[in-house]
Structure formats: C-alpha cells, structure tokens
C-alpha cells in the first residue's frame, strides 16, 4: 500500500529549514517531523510532504539548487 506521505531527507536541520521555507513559499504543504526510524538512524528532522507532491518537490529543490539526500515515500 502506498503511504499518503513522503519525506525529504537532508543533511541537517538547517537544511530542513531551508527546504520547508522554499516549499511554503511555493504553496506546497509540508511539515517538519523527526526522521522516521525505519528510513534513517539520524536523530534530526526532515520535511514531510504529500506523496502526490513528490515530483513538484523534486523540481522545486532542483530549481533552488538545494542539495537533498533523497525524497522518498514513507
């Protein structure tokens, strides 16, 4: 079953802040959440997005030149 959400994984919380701001400015719903344990052992934060927005988010971060580690379904 496909999850309703995906997450944008980044290097640090500072990077997550930058992604969150970019997406909010672009009208893409998102929320900072702790990185889910099954995705990464990192203790930091990531940005949760709607699964259906994955392509739009890929385009937005690429256009802004923001380095992300991955964008993946939860």
Write down the least CB distance from residue 33 to other proteins, Å: 5
Residue of 12, 62, 70, 73 interacting with other proteins (CB under 8 A)? 12
Q: Which residues pair with 49 in a beta bridge?
A: 6, 30
Residue of 44, 50, 54, 74 interacting with other proteins (CB under 8 A)? 44
Please answer whether residues 6 and 73 qualify as being in contact, where contact means their C-beta atoms are separated by less than 8 angstroms. Answer: yes
Tokens at 68, concatenated: 């992300």
DSSP annotation of 28 reads: -
Task: Please count the CA atoms within 13 angstroms of the CA of 29 that sit on its side-chain side.
Answer: 7
Write down the least CB distance from residue 14 to other proteins, Å: 6
Question: Looking only at residues 18 through 37 of this chain, which bind other proteins when binding is defined by CB under 8 A?
Answer: 18, 21, 32-35
Residues that bind other proteins (CB under 8 A): 11-18, 21, 32-35, 41-46
């Amino acid at each position: 079953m496909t999850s309703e959400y995906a997450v944008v994984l980044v290097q640090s919380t500072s990077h997550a802040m930058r992604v969150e701001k970019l997406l909010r400015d672009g009208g893409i719903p998102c929320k900072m959440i702790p990185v889910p344990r099954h995705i990464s052992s990192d203790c930091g934060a990531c940005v949760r997005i709607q699964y259906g927005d994955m392509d739009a988010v890929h385009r937005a971060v690429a256009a802004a030149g923001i380095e992300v580690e991955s964008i993946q379904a939860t």
